[in-house]
A and B are shown apart, each in its own frame.
Chain A
């Protein structure tokens, strides 16, 4: 079967502690339950979650939606935001697990990448190195979400095919964002062929495309 690999990169640096990270956990739960109700996503979407704070961690390896059990995402009290390390890890994962270019196996759909951060990369040099590497991986779409006012949009623009911003890091806003992610994944499971870039569904009110 053709899989739709979806990678979620979540900023877990100290500034996310408290309400923001709780909102992320709630949002992820909602994301997964709405994917479970979408037959296309339930049959084809595979989800992987990478968190990044002082290091990048694979907290959920690529797992089919039907079998998925969300880990609780936690944050340390403080520390840097190693966004570059997270990009490096996602590239490694894509290289090892996304099935392409073979006549012997069924090729996967182009993977999707979502990255959510409330700050700026601390490892800016690594980040700049990894941006072109990510582009080489031919994601159908790289969507970056700048959560809150302190998120640095410029760095994200280098990386992403579309950047959205959330004004606040509360659960209502996050829930809208994750619903939108879910809709994007569903449409990704159907978008085939002609356009090399995925056309994302229009975002809800609290999310502005920047």
Chain B
């Protein structure tokens, strides 16, 4: 009973198979897998009936794809040279490649059947018989061997081996290894701050370790600090980018920002602004050159002096560290300011009694600072970044070079110290090159109001600035994790708004 039943079912299945084999596979994109395996097998079976069995060639044959192995088709197997398909860029995206040039050696009416084989289940290939295209959506990276078998009317089976390389999605390759919080000069991998200055005036800042550092468990090299002095209605904004290749640059950027802040805070007293007011008024009404000089001379004592003190303090720290190292490890090691290399952008924004803003910046290195006015679609960039011949080259606060510290104070003022008076602004924005590189791409774009508008729109879309509380800093930090291929430096951004 049982046996009979099985026999019946088998017959039934065979007849279904027979029907299937009449349907030409070209009619649809055939998925190669378990399903098509039976279909292919039966195809061969069907053909077998018409072929002279004597033609079987009794000679060593190249290994056959598993699903074809069972076929007793008497064919001459003709292997072809390995070809390489264009790489699949990343996993998880659609891939398509035409094999038309390979099949061009056959006239369409010669081709009896086309089959694809593969060795793994990780790559489900589709074959488009009309366009002679293979397509797939690989789920795993790797090198895959594919064979295309073409049966032609003269009882030949042509086997074309192909290699397909699938790259991993870089996003899946990045690791996030926490940095050692017990190492010398340890630093949290991210940081953020929100300061409420007064009604409708806040400072928000966030700093995120770059993926290239996260990949190796290295610490964040960027740093920032901000303060609002209510008494004189003056905001101090500072960001610093420690050089990726300097071993203690994380401490360099920390010392630079802290030291600079201390000096600027101590200098920007109510008396200081009072003393400067006449020159500012004169400059605003007459654009007087002499007034400009006296403003810059006053600012020199605040900002340039702050930067110089930061540099000096870093140099001192290098020596201190050398002494500590000698005491701890009982052997000498040289450390210098170079090991603490950092950039520095610092901005002082002071609300004037007339209602406008007096804004001044001192800037060494890359990154960017801008005063953005959305309504007017304008941006004032208070300086120019230091760039080199190649990417990633810049100047550092810690250098002794005359490029950064010219002998002549006037030259230094001209190159690195700026001030402007604006009636209002939407945001004063400071950022390290981890943000400015992906968002502005080129140095010229840093001065392009269109690019600033794009950035501002993007930020406004992601961050509810008007909430004016710590959630704004959270949102900024979250936004800063944006994806941009090849741009994985530390990112720091600060906005006064």
Give me the interface of A with B, judged by CB distance under 8 Å: 1-3, 33, 36-40, 42-44, 65-69, 100-110, 138, 189-195, 199
Contacts and interface: CB of A to CB of B under 8 A. Distances in A.
Given A106-B441, A193-B393, A1 B485 contact: yes
Residue from A2, A33, A36, A138 with most neighbouring chain B CB atoms (10 Å):
A36
A38 B444 CA distance: 31
Given A109-B390, A192-B243, A68 B487 contact: no
B341 interface: yes
B173 A104 contact: no
A110 B143 CA distance: 31
Interface string B366-381: 0000000000000000
Interface string B58-81: 000000000000000000000000
Given A66-B89, A67-B86, A69-B84, A108 B390 contact: yes
A109 B391 CA distance: 5
A156 B215 CA distance: 34
Interface of B: 84, 86-87, 89-90, 141, 143, 165, 167-168, 170-171, 173-174, 211-212, 215, 243-246, 249, 338, 341, 387-394, 396, 437, 441-444, 485-489
Given A37-B168, A103-B442, A193-B245, 9 more contacts: A2-B392, A2-B437, A39-B170, A42-B168, A101-B389, A103-B387, A106-B441, A138-B389, A192-B245
B244 A190 contact: yes
A109 B393 CA distance: 9
Contacts of B486: 1-3, 43-44
A37 to B, nearest CB: 7
Contacts of B443: 103
B246 A193 contact: yes
8 contacts: A36-B167, A39-B215, A40-B215, A42-B168, A43-B170, A108-B390, A109-B392, A110-B393
B151 to A, nearest CB: 29
B167 A42 contact: yes
A190 B443 CA distance: 21
A107 B488 contact: no
Nearest to A100: B389
Contacts of A189: 212
A105 B244 CA distance: 22
A1 B170 CA distance: 15
A106 B433 CA distance: 13
Contacts of B173: 37-39, 42
Contact of A39 (B87, B211, B391, B394): B211
A107 B389 contact: yes
Contact of A104 (B215, B246, B442, B488): B442
A68 B89 CA distance: 10
Contact of A1 (B141, B212, B388, B487): B487
A69 B97 CA distance: 15
A42 B211 CA distance: 14
Contacts of A44: 486
Contacts of B212: 40, 189-190
A69 B389 contact: no
Nearest to B340: A194
Contacts of A107: 387-391
A195 B211 contact: no
Q: Which 9 A-B pairs have the closest CB atoms?
A: A39-B173, A192-B244, A192-B392, A103-B443, A107-B391, A1-B486, A193-B243, A39-B170, A2-B391
Nearest to B171: A39
A69 B165 contact: yes
Given A104-B442, A109-B391, A194 B396 contact: yes
B390 A138 contact: yes
Of B170, B243, B244, B485, chain A has the most CB atoms within 10 Å of the CB of B170
Contact of B245 (A2, A3, A194): A194
B243 A40 contact: no
Contacts of B141: 36-37
Contacts of A199: 245
Contacts of B437: 2, 106
A103 B444 CA distance: 5
A193 B341 contact: yes
B93 to A, nearest CB: 12
Nearest to A109: B391
Most chain-B Cβ atoms within 10 A of its Cβ — which of A102, A103, A104, A191? A103
B168 A108 contact: no
Contacts of B387: 103, 107
Contacts of B211: 39
Contacts of A195: 245-246
Nearest to B143: A33
Nearest to A110: B390
A67 B394 contact: no
Nearest to A101: B389
B204 to A, nearest CB: 27
